[in-house]
Amino acid sequence: MAEPEPEPDLGPAGRTTRRVRVVSSAGIVAAVLLAVLLVPPLVQLDQQAVDLAAKLRPPSWQHPFGTDDVGRDLLLRCVYGLRVSLLVGVVAGLTATVIGTAVGALAAAFGGWTDRVVMRLVDTFSSVPHLLLGIFIVAMFRPGVGPVIVSVALTHWLSTARIVRSEVLSLRSRPFIDAAISGGASRGRVVVRHLLPAVLPQAGLAAVLMVPHAMWHESALSFLGLGLPTHQASLGNLVQTARGSLLAGDWWPTLFPGLFLVIPTLALAGLAGAWRERINPRRRSELML
């Protein structure tokens, strides 16, 4: 197998910038994981508790993020909402990556009419906007986490399939693949033992990139009232219910859920970018031009 390409020298300033970006992104992701794992069991408060006497209070020591339109603590609601959105993003992203990797690898490995039929199907699904197709899928079920995961997974595996197919097609011409076929290995064995392990870094990168995309997709569906039930905390639901408060001049019910959505997704994208630069240094040098 060919030796990996050496990483281009970025200079001291470039290395420092990349290190700061990776460390800050990793710190944000670690803080998010600790918050969603530890806050609910440690904070003995009901995030659904209604206190109409404390509704729409601005941020204070008692309520650092303020309260919503029925007096619920917004910080606790944001943590629970991030927990649900992150769950949807991780499960849907992994599912979409598995589907896309399997479809792309099999299409490229078998080639011929199989590859043509599969890729025409991929092109057909890609011609429909993701959100529109996701709305159609969610509308067939009752609102809940499961239908949202299914909707995101079934609409986001197409790009992964294309990436994996391209990688497998380039690997098929390598000498070690020819040697395995000459040695009597079947197509299935070549795919499982040689092709899939070679594309796992690209598939893993696709999965990491898929998580923030799935979180935004879930938030969009919930904002439209088609995702999770309105009583269940998710970042999309929190932003959707805060629209009236924003028009009345109360900014905190919209700002903090939005930050809980934007900052973790940017951190995940930063880690994915660092991973992409490490596994494909030539692409990094092209992007810097």
pLDDT tens across 71-96, in order?
888 888 888 888 888 888 899 989 99
What's the CA gap between 233 and 229, in Å, rounded?
A: 8
pLDDT of residue 95: 92
Tell me the pTM. 0.78
pLDDT (tens digit per residue) in 103-129: 888 888 777 888 889 888 888 888 888
Report whether 57 contacts 63 (CB < 8 A). Answer: yes
Q: How far is CA 28 from CA 31, 101, 204, in A?
A: 5, 29, 20
Q: Which stretch of 35-39, 51-55, 166-170, 189-193 has the lowest confidence by average pLDDT? A: 189-193
pLDDT band at 45 (very low <50, low <70, confident <90, very high): low
pLDDT of residue 91: 92
Share of the chain above pLDDT 90, in %: 2
DSSP annotation of 228 reads S
